[in-house]
Amino acid sequence: MLSYRHAFHAGNHADVLKHFVQMQLLQYLNQKDKPYWYIDTHAGAGVYSLREGYATKNAEFQGGIARLWGRTDLPPALAEYVAVVKALNPSGKLVLYPGSPWVALQCIRSQDRLRLFELHPTDAELLQQNFAEHSKRGTVQMTDGFEGIKAVLPPPSRRALTLIDPPYEDKRDYQHVVHCLQESLKRFANGVYAVWYPKLQRQESLQFVDKLKRLPIDSWLHVSLSVHAPKADGFGMHGSGLFIINPPWTLHGTLQSVMPWLVAELGLDNGASFELEQQVK
């Protein structure tokens, strides 16, 4: 399915959670000199306008990054994430929002490399344009990331962060993620994998995390943020989550301090909450 465009949702509460955690993972990898790869299976366009086009339809960023934009009391980890967004907006006005590839580009070092996959032809072209000046830092391929990842694992340095966040408009994406991880872990069991998913009132979403926990893995962390209670009609996304395989040992503590703050600032009703659980070796 090629109808999904992330621009509709750019900068919303789910992006805040995803990109803030993404930065924590990359910064942890940066602590060792040895190079690594950042692999993005559904990279999108890379950069999104919040003042025109799709993002203005529902203005979802108003419930996400816009609530953090002018704050001076952000927890340090969130302040680092907001600083990346502000660097993309030198005028001081919130005009552009960085997708996960752009966030990664700001975090990786000269020795690290990007491997970006995007199947949607329009977004793939935009991604190519947005990264044209950074072609030496990595590659962009217009292909299905679920398939493309097979050719890049394991990376030469045996270090990588792989972000898997399909749109899930096609219910089969849930099973595609599980299958992708099963195959990827056979090739590269020691990599860090971050799976984003939407919190929906559909069985595929409700059962998803349990299926991920049953993968042949020793260490994982699961964090989710709900910004409101599920609607009575069961329609719409009320939150999102990340399931991380081989997480940094520091991440749980960071999330323990940041997630209550996000619930308080992004929550819309008494149903706002977070989950945080982990399994370690």
Pairing of the two strands 37-40 and 113-117: parallel
Torsion of CA 37, 39, 43, 46, to 10 degrees: -10
User: What is the residue whose two structure tokens read 């391929």?
Assistant: 141
Contact 11, 64 (CB under 8 A): yes
Selecting among 15, 40, 123, 165, the annotated active-site residue is: 165
Q: Which of 48, 46, 91, 92 is nearest to 69 (CA)?
A: 92
Establish whether 233 is a catalytic residue: no
Burial of 233 (0-12, 13-18, 19+ CB in 10 A): exposed
Give the integer Cα–Cα distance in Å for 199 and 267: 14
User: Cis ω on the peptide bond leading into residue 154 (within 30° of 0)?
Assistant: yes
Contact 50, 94 (CB under 8 A): yes
- Reading the block at residue 61, the tokens are 């960023």
Q: How many CA atoms lie within 13 A of 214 on its CB side?
A: 7
* Residues pairing with 160 in the sheet: 37
- Find all residues with CB under 8 Å of 180, minimum gap 6, and list them: 41, 146, 149, 164
DSSP SS3 for 26 = helix
Give the integer Cα–Cα distance in Å for 181 and 145: 12
Contact 227, 239 (CB under 8 A): yes
Query: So which residues are the catalytic ones?
Result: 165
